[in-house]
Amino acid sequence: MPAAVIFDAAGTLLHLREPVGETYARIAADHGVALSGPRIADAFARIFRAAPPMAFPGEPPSRTPALERAWWRARVRETFRATDATAHFADFDRFFAVLYDAFSDPTSWRLAEGAHDCLAQLRARGLRVGVLSNFDHRLPELLDFHGIAPFLDFCFRPGVSGFAKPAPEAFESVLSHLDLPPGSAVYVGDDVGEDGGAAARAGIRAIDVTTLATLADLPQRMND
């Protein structure tokens, strides 16, 4: 049995109630740009995969929220350019502000099925439990709103650790924080391709959350 379980956030513990492309398309339409959700979603996926890490080593923590917001502004601008280079917003900054606020709203997210039961079981076993995510400074509020913050011992984000997944250093920073050796932790996420490979290089077993019926099945899977 491991000593710690490290969860991804978006796509693992939390899920959007509306697909990203549909949210972008709906709010863009309110600002005079009509594009389909699937086209935007395809462009977003390509832009997100190619984006630089949302990590700002050397910057003071007080600047992190503004830097992360600027990072997202650049990705949103690139997404619409990749979707349709002729698309034009009369006031892009106003559109972006509304879009950014939409994803900041905790009610735009739902807790993964079985998450509460899973976390309670892991803590009852005496395991240390937390999050390693490429999310930004808005994540703690989302975790708190959905009632799982009390179960978590740590919440590592690029703005905190200075490293973004899939860099092995992101996983190593968690082990260092917990003062645990490689091989003593499990990582649970929805991208066990790149992230799982990075976890393995840090000596951490990876479990693909998409292979579980619900998160409540995780404690049993960890015994297999």
Q: Are residues 161 and 192 in the same domain?
A: yes
The torsion angle over the Cα atoms of residues 97, 162, 192 and 213, rounded to 10 degrees, is -60
- Please give the residue range of the domain that contains residue 99: 18-108
Tell me what pLDDT residue 195 has. 87
Q: Look at residue 201 in the predicted model and tell me its pLDDT.
A: 87
Model pLDDT for residues 55-76, shown as the tens digit of each residue: 998 899 899 999 999 999 999 9
Domain ends where: 108, 125, 149? Answer: 108
Residues 29 and 125 in one domain: no
User: Domain end: 108, 136, 155, which one?
Assistant: 108
Same domain, 187 and 127: yes
Q: Residue 202 has what pLDDT?
A: 87
What pLDDT is attached to residue 81? Answer: 97
The stretches in the chain having pLDDT less than 50 are: none
Position 25 scores a pLDDT of 98
DSSP string covering 70-118, please? HHHHHHHHHHHHHH-TT---TTHHHHHHHHHHHHH-GGGEEEPTTHHHH
Q: What is the pLDDT of residues 12-28, one digit of tens each?
A: 999 999 999 999 999 99
Query: In this structure, what DSSP letter does residue 125 have?
Result: T
**Which CATH number do you get for residue 40?**
1.10.150
Residue 217 and residue 126 share a domain: yes
Q: What is the pLDDT of residue 224?
A: 73
- What pLDDT, on the 0 to 100 scale, is given for residue 11? 95
